[in-house]
Amino acid sequence: MADRNHPGCLARTLRGFTWKRFALFCGIVALTATGHAAVTYLAPRATLAKAIEAFGWQFAYMFVFFGTVWVAVVTIGNWAPRRTGPRLATLFGAAIVGLVAGNLLNGLMPMMMPEQKDAPTLLKELSAIVLWSHVIAAGVLGYFFLTREEEAVARLHEEDLRREALDRELAEARLLVMQAQVEPHFLFNTLANVRRLFQTDASAARAMLAHLSRYLGAMLPRMRKSDSSLDHELTLALAYLSVQQIRMGPRLSVRSDVPEALLTQPFPPMMLVTLVENAIRHGLNPLPEGGEVRIQARATEGKLRVSVIDTGAGLSESSGPGVGLANIRARLSTLYGGRARLLLAQNPGRGVAATIEMPATPATPAVRAA
């Protein structure tokens, strides 16, 4: 298969011939033939049949005359150099070739239609070339500027496509860099918890290692992916909370309120577990009694809202946005522009509700039926 930018010989030669242009060409020829038929009909002792015959003869004559020029200019022009001077010279040379070929073909008409008394002669053919030379020249110039404009538009379109592809690559690279900033933080913190627990409670440390294995099993296969699902991210967050429950014991309770129908929704990787870790670290850890972490998801009005709600210390004037939350906001902006956001609000009882709001993907008929 020929490359789009390097078409085959036949495709390149025929480029520019379309049914729309052919219809326009036939319309121009028919208009010219109609004028000739009208002149014939207005002549003394003219009849309608004579005018119709004149129209047919003139249409055939002009179709061959201009058609060969059109074919020559387009086919040869498709192989013309890109530079203006050589290209114009090639196009005018093609027009001359078309004129010669058209007149040679028109010279055969008397042999095909011997009853035609007003058949073209050599003198008439040369006169026609002179008569229509300015029209041919105007047509060649028009075709030159038309093709140059089409090529300019095509180049701009290709530049736009390349720029869009580059923007996507840059956005994906930014996302991977920001995601890579989050992953070591989780790993080092969790491993530090396991090490400390082995010094005090070996059985609990073994249980934590089992949960850690489940956590890593959910995280590592998609660590460098730019897409994920709410189901996968919920599994990762719950595995992380299982590790923290062993560390915190009764100080941490966990609830999940995510409808099964929403589990297939696309969801950016590592964002949910970042909110969960933030709730543990800044919300529950400072309190001796700990608290609860609840993961909740709802879809309304075309928006998916995933919340991590804790009953921890809550927002304070001294608490800054944090690297994790700033990372989430930057990634949401890169992925969705202004169509997604991170919302922080004081929990009515105590603690913080952190909500990621983003466009929801419409459910498939099978999911809706379930």
pLDDT tens digits for 191-222?
777 777 777 777 777 777 777 777 666 665 55
Both 360 and 282 in a single domain? yes
Task: Please indicate, yes or no, if residue 315 is contained in any of the structural domains.
Answer: yes
Instruction: Choose the final residue of a domain: 104, 120, 136.
Output: 120
- 86 token code pair: 């050589």
Task: Please indicate, yes or no, if residue 141 is contained in any of the structural domains.
Answer: no
Task: Please indicate, yes or no, if residue 159 is contained in any of the structural domains.
Answer: no
- Residue 189 pLDDT > 80, yes or no? no
- Residue 70 pLDDT > 50, yes or no? yes
pLDDT at 116: 47
Both 69 and 214 in a single domain? no
In the DSSP assignment, the letter for residue 360 is P
Both 262 and 352 in a single domain? yes
How many domains does the chain contain in total?
2
pLDDT at 107: 64
Both 240 and 353 in a single domain? yes
pLDDT band at 265 (very low <50, low <70, confident <90, very high): very high
pLDDT at 205: 76
Both 100 and 194 in a single domain? no
Which domain, by its residues, includes 103? 9-120
- 265 token code pair: 């929704």
Give the Cα separation of 341 and 328 in Å (integer). Answer: 9
**Highest-scoring range by mean pLDDT, 113-127, 143-157, 223-237:** 223-237
Both 116 and 191 in a single domain? no
What mean pLDDT comes out for the span 245-268? 91
Both 242 and 100 in a single domain? no
Give the Cα separation of 137 and 217 in Å (integer). Answer: 73
Task: Please indicate, yes or no, if residue 271 is contained in any of the structural domains.
Answer: yes
- 82 token code pair: 């890109």
Task: Please indicate, yes or no, if residue 363 is contained in any of the structural domains.
Answer: yes
Both 192 and 338 in a single domain? yes
Both 309 and 204 in a single domain? yes
Task: Please indicate, yes or no, if residue 152 is contained in any of the structural domains.
Answer: no
What mean pLDDT comes out for the span 134-141? 64
Give the Cα separation of 329 and 350 in Å (integer). Answer: 24
- 302 token code pair: 């075309």
**Highest-scoring range by mean pLDDT, 164-173, 341-350, 352-361:** 352-361
Instruction: Report the DSSP beta bridge partners of residue 345.
Output: 353
- Buried b or exposed e, range 278-302, using 16+ CB within 10 angstroms: bbbebbbbebeebbbbbbbbebeee
Instruction: Choose the final residue of a domain: 89, 120, 151.
Output: 120
pLDDT at 43: 76
Instruction: Give the torsion through C-alpha atoms of 352, 353, 356, 360, to 10 deg.
Output: 170
Task: Please indicate, yes or no, if residue 145 is contained in any of the structural domains.
Answer: no
pTM of the predicted protein model: 0.50
CATH of the domain at 306: 3.30.565.10
| Average pLDDT score, the chain | 76
Both 116 and 240 in a single domain? no
